[in-house]
Amino acid sequence: AQSVTQPDIHITVSEGASLELRCNYSYGATPYLFWYVQSPGQGLQLLLKYFSGDTLVQGIKGFEAEFKRSQSSFNLRKPSVHWSDAAEYFCAVGPGANNLFFGTGTRLTVIP
Segment 50 to 69, residues that bind another protein, using CB under 8 A: 51-52
Binding mask 23-42 for another protein (x = CB under 8 A): ---------x-x-x----xx
Q: Which is nearer to another protein, 40 or 112 (CB)?
A: 40
Least Å distance, CB 42 to another protein, is 6
Please, which residues have CB within 8 angstroms of residue 34's CB and are 6 or more apart in sequence?
46, 47, 48, 49, 50, 91, 92, 93, 97, 100
Q: Which of 90, 93, 108, 110 binds another protein (CB under 8 A)?
A: 90
Beta-bridge mates of residue 4: 25
Distance between CA atoms of 71 and 80, rounded to whole angstroms? 25
